[in-house]
Amino acid sequence: MKKLISRREMLTLLAATGASGLVLRASAALNLVPDTQLARPRIPQADPNNPPTIVVLGAGIAGLTAAYELTKAGYNCVLLEASSRVGGRCMTVRSGDLIDEVGNPQICQFDDAPHMYFNAGPARIPSSHRNLMNYCKELGVDLEVFINENKECYYQDDAMFGGKPVKNTEFTTSARGFMAEIMAKSLEKDQLDMPLDQWELETLMGVVRSFGDLSEGDMFKGSTRGGYTHGGYLDHGEAKEPLAFRELLKSGFLRNALSASEGETGPILFQPVGGMDNIAKGFARKLENRIFYNVLVSSVKLNNSGVEVIYEHGGVKYKLDADYCFNCIPSHLMAGIDNNFPSEYVAAMRYPQRGEAYKSAFQTKERFWENDDIYGGISWVNAPIRQIWYPINGIHKEKGVILSAYDFGGGMAFTKLSQEQRIEAAIQQGEKLHPDYRQQVEKGITIAWHRMNHMLGCAARWPGSRGGANAQAEEMFQTLRRPAGGRHYMIGDQVTKHSAWQESAILSAHWAIKDMLSRQPGNASMPGTPLS
Partner 1 sequence: MQVCPELPSPDFSRITVIDMKTLIKTLLLAGGIGVLTQPATLLAQQFSQLDTTFQSIGNQVCATCHGAYGQGNPVVGGPSLAGLEPWYLRSQLEKFRAGWRGAQRDYIPAYEMQATVSNISNAEIDRLVSEVTSWPEPDPEAYSEGNAAHGQQLYTTCATCHGMSAEGNEALKAPALADRDSWYLYRQLNLFKSGFRGGHPDDVTGAQMRASVQVLEDDQAVKDVVAYINSLN
- Give the footprint of partner 1 on this chain (CB under 8 A): 53, 55, 76, 78, 82-85, 94, 96-98, 100, 102-105, 107-108, 288-289, 291-294, 296-299, 310, 312-313, 315-322, 332-333, 335-338, 349-350, 354, 412, 415-417, 450-451, 453-454, 456
Question: Between β-strands 291-292 and 106-107, what pairing exists: parallel, antiparallel or unpaired?
Answer: unpaired
Nearest-angstrom CA–CA distance, 505 and 522: 28
Closer Cβ to partner 1, 214 or 337, answer by number: 337
For 114, phi then psi, to 5°, come to -60, -30
Cα angle: 99, vertex 102, 104; to 5 degrees: 60
Q: In whole angstroms, what separates CA 518 from the centre of its chain? A: 30
Q: What is the dihedral angle through the alpha carbons of 491, 496, 500, 504, rounded to the nearest 10 degrees?
A: -80
User: H/E element holding 130?
Assistant: helix 130-139
Tell the smallest beta-carbon distance from residue 98 to partner 1 (Å). Answer: 4
Which CB contacts under 8 angstroms, 24+ apart, belong to 492-497? Answer: 492/58, 492/60, 492/61, 492/62, 492/63, 492/328, 492/330, 492/460, 493/62, 493/459, 493/460, 494/328, 494/330, 494/331, 494/352, 494/459, 494/460, 495/331, 497/462, 497/465, 497/466, 497/469
Q: How far is the CB of 403 from partner 1 (least distance, A)?
A: 21
State which residue, 180 or 480, has the beta carbon closest to partner 1: 480
Alpha-carbon distances, residue 241 vs 173, 174, 178, 228, 229 (angstroms): 11, 9, 13, 9, 8
Closer to partner 1 at the Cβ: 104 or 127?
104
Query: Nearer to partner 1 by C-beta: 82 or 441?
Result: 82
User: Which lies closer to partner 1 via its Cβ, residue 307 or residue 405?
Assistant: 307
Q: Report the alpha-carbon distance of residue 388 to residue 154 in Å, rounded.
A: 9
In the bound complex, what is the minimum distance in angstroms from residue 60's beta carbon to partner 1? 15
> Closer CB to partner 1, residue 137 or residue 313?
313
Query: What is the full DSSP assignment across 328-348?
Result: -S-HHHHTTSEE---HHHHHH
Nearer to partner 1 by Cβ, of 305 and 525: the residue is 305
Pick between residue 101 and residue 157 the one whose CB is nearest to partner 1: 101
Least distance CB 309 / partner 1 (angstroms):
10
Which CB atom, from 82 or from 132, has the smaller least distance to partner 1? 82
Least Å from the CB of residue 53 to partner 1: 5
Closest distance between partner 1 and the C-beta of residue 40, in Å? 25
Question: What sections of 236-372 are H helices per DSSP?
Answer: 245-249, 277-286, 331-334, 343-350
User: What φ, ψ does residue 452 adopt, rounded to 5°?
Assistant: -75, 135
Main-chain dihedrals φ then ψ at residue 249, nearest 5 degrees: -65, -20
Beta-sheet strand order (sheet of 143-146)? 125-126, 269-272, 143-146
The CA-based angle 56-62-67, given to 5 degrees, is 45
CB of 73 to partner 1, least distance (A): 16
322 in helix, strand or coil?
strand
| HSE, side-chain direction, 13 A CA sphere, residue 190 | 4
Q: How far apart are CA 350 and CA 336, in angstroms?
A: 9
Shortest Cβ distance from residue 462 to partner 1 (Å)?
Answer: 14
Residue 122 or 376: the one with the smaller Cβ distance to partner 1 is 122
Q: CA–CA separation, 340 vs 345, rounded Å? A: 10
User: What letter does residue 10 receive in the DSSP assignment?
Assistant: H
> Is 98 exposed, middle or buried, given 0-12, 13-18 or 19+ CB atoms closer than 10 A?
middle
Whose Cβ is closer to partner 1: residue 387's or residue 419's? 419
Between 83 and 360, whose beta carbon lies closer to partner 1? 83
Nearest distance, CB of residue 104 and partner 1, angstroms: 6
- State the chain's maximal CA–CA distance in angstroms: 83
Minimum distance from residue 289 beta carbon to partner 1 (Å): 5
- Least separation in angstroms between residue 520's CB and partner 1 is 19
Residue 27: count of CB within 10 angstroms of its CB = 16
Please say which residue, 108 or 125, places its beta carbon nearer to partner 1: 108
Q: Cβ 339 to partner 1, closest distance in Å?
A: 10
What is d(CA 145, CA 135) in angstroms, rounded to the nearest whole number? Answer: 17
Q: CB of 341: closest distance to partner 1 in angstroms?
A: 14
